[in-house]
């Protein structure tokens, strides 16, 4: 791999980010984090109130990456077969035969809208696909297309009649990204696009194969021992049962992050360094990806709830503590 190839790919990824930004006003952080998850081969859980453009984001993503996109609206009556597909009896050559009809999960980018509305049985069907990148129907196992990315959404309000994802299944999401309400200027820009005839045309910049190659390159990016130690110290610091756990951990965390959190942090920090045009991971990369990588993996206790402490505040204090030791 030559340096100019590297620079070319970096520029292409930056162009992708810029292009997606044309379709989604504001939300720069969200776009950056989604892009990191794509490059790190991970799935994303988007949490935000309705109407913030989560679906538009996924559509823009699929256009820029030239990848197949499907959307699944999760409802309480949704069945697993509705997600994965099923065998149907069809007439073929005069005979009735069973033929597998692939479900909406057979796509490069799957938008699982309001995943917490479906029953646990249906949720687990999708989650199996996310983890294994395969679907098993009957005795047959079918490979999902590559690259494969699930963007699930959750509404933080209206929790009645929902089935919150258990921690074990939340852990399978690389990132949990919070989609915030836009400010006034951004809202105006949104109006300009959505209530007028003006529709931004998004260009295709990368394809699936190029994304797979970029992922391969990113995996080779070096991480120094000091930076790796920093990332691992952060994950270990989330465990209250460990010796030397910070006070904030002992006070507010019931269960700490799993080793998947460490993997998520390292993979996505490499992706960030790549997008930034560097050939090594820095402490700043770790700090950036720590929030989306850890916030859904920390089980806070009742003290945190009663003190109104959010996972992001806990992560912030942990980072401050480790930075102090580092200096």
Partner 1 sequence: MEKKVIRFVRNVRARLRELHIVDKLLKMAVAGLLTAALISVFALFVPFYYAVFAAVIVTAICILAGFLWGFINTPTMLKSALMADSKGHQEKFSTAYENVDKQDDFSLMQRRDAVKEMEQFKIRREFPIILSKKLIGGLLLFAVLFAAISSIDTPAKQKAFLSHDSKKAAEEVKKQIEKVEKEFDKKSYEGADTKEVAKAINTAKKELKTAKTRQEVAKAAKRLSRKLEQMAKKTNNKELGRKMSEQAEKLNKKVEKQQDELMKAAKEALEKAEKGSDKEKKEAAKKMAAMASALGNEELAKAAEQYSRENFSDSSYNNMKQALSKALKNSNQNNSLENAKASTASGNASAKVDPNATVNIKQQGNVSGNAANGAAAGQGSGNNGGASGNGTNGFGNSGAGWNHGSKNGSERDAITNNKVTVPDGTLGNDDNLTGKANENGSAVKQQSEHGLTWSGNKVDYGTVSGSYKDKAYKQVDGASYPASMKEKIRNYFSDLE
Residues in the site for partner 1, rule: CB under 8 A? 1-3, 6, 217, 220-227, 278-284
CA distances, 11 to each of 8, 37, 210, 240, 275 (Å): 5, 18, 13, 42, 8
Which candidate, 318, 139, 155, 160, places its Cα nearest to that of 237?
A: 318
Phi and psi at residue 42, in whole multiples of 5°? -135, 170
**Closest approach of partner 1 to the CB of residue 266, in Å:** 14
- C-alpha angle 299/305/309, rounded to 5°? 85
Closer residue to partner 1 in complex, CB, 205/273? 273
**Closest approach of partner 1 to the CB of residue 265, in Å:** 15
Report how far residue 174's alpha carbon sits from residue 71's, in angstroms, rounded to the nearest whole number: 20
**Closest approach of partner 1 to the CB of residue 191, in Å:** 39
Three-state DSSP class for residue 228: helix
Closer residue to partner 1 in complex, CB, 223/265? 223
**Closest approach of partner 1 to the CB of residue 326, in Å:** 9
Which residue's entry shows tokens 């920093």? 230
Closer residue to partner 1 in complex, CB, 276/312? 276
Closer residue to partner 1 in complex, CB, 193/232? 232
Closer residue to partner 1 in complex, CB, 163/283? 283
**Closest approach of partner 1 to the CB of residue 157, in Å:** 39
CA distances, 106 to each of 120, 184, 232, 268 (Å): 20, 38, 35, 25
Which residue's entry shows tokens 């006003």? 25
Which residue's entry shows tokens 């074990």? 168
Pinpoint the alpha helices (H) of 43-132: 54-65, 80-84, 120-132
**Closest approach of partner 1 to the CB of residue 48, in Å:** 31
**Closest approach of partner 1 to the CB of residue 21, in Å:** 24
Which candidate, 70, 186, 85, 165, places its Cα nearest to that of 117?
A: 165
Closer residue to partner 1 in complex, CB, 119/282? 282
Closer residue to partner 1 in complex, CB, 281/298? 281
Which candidate, 71, 56, 47, places its Cα nearest to that of 190?
A: 56
């Amino acid at each position: 791999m030559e340096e100019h190839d590297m620079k070319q790919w970096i520029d292409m990824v930056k162009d992708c980010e810029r292009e997606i930004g044309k379709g989604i006003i504001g939300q720069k952080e969200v776009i950056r984090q989604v892009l990191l998850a794509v490059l790190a081969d991970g799935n994303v859980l988007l949490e935000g109130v309705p109407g913030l453009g989560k679906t538009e984001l996924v559509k823009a993503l699929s256009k820029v990456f030239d990848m197949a996109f499907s959307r699944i609206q999760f409802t309480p009556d949704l069945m697993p077969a509705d997600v994965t597909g099923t065998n149907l009896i069809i007439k073929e050559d005069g005979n009735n035969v069973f033929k597998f009809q692939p479900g909406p999960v057979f796509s490069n980018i799957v938008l699982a809208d309001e995943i917490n509305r479906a029953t646990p049985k249906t949720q687990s069907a999708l989650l199996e696909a996310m983890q294994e990148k395969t679907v098993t129907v009957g005795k047959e196992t079918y490979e999902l297309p590559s690259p494969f990315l699930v963007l699930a959404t959750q509404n933080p309000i209206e929790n009645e009649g929902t089935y919150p994802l258990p921690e074990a299944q939340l852990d399978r999401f690389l990132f949990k990204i919070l989609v915030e309400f836009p400010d006034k200027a951004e809202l105006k820009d949104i109006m300009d696009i959505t209530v007028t005839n003006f529709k931004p045309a998004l260009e295709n910049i990368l394809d699936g194969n190029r994304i797979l190659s970029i992922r391969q390159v990113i995996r080779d990016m070096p991480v120094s021992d000091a930076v790796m130690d920093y990332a691992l110290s952060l994950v270990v610091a989330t465990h209250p049962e460990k010796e030397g756990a910070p006070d904030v951990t002992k006070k507010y965390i019931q269960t700490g992050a799993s080793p998947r959190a460490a993997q998520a942090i390292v993979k996505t920090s490499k992706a960030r360094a790549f997008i930034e045009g560097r050939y090594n991971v820095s402490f700043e990369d770790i700090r950036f990806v720590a929030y989306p990588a850890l916030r859904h993996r920390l089980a806070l206790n009742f003290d945190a709830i009663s003190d109104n402490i959010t996972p992001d505040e806990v992560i912030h204090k942990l980072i401050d503590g480790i930075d102090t030791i580092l200096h």
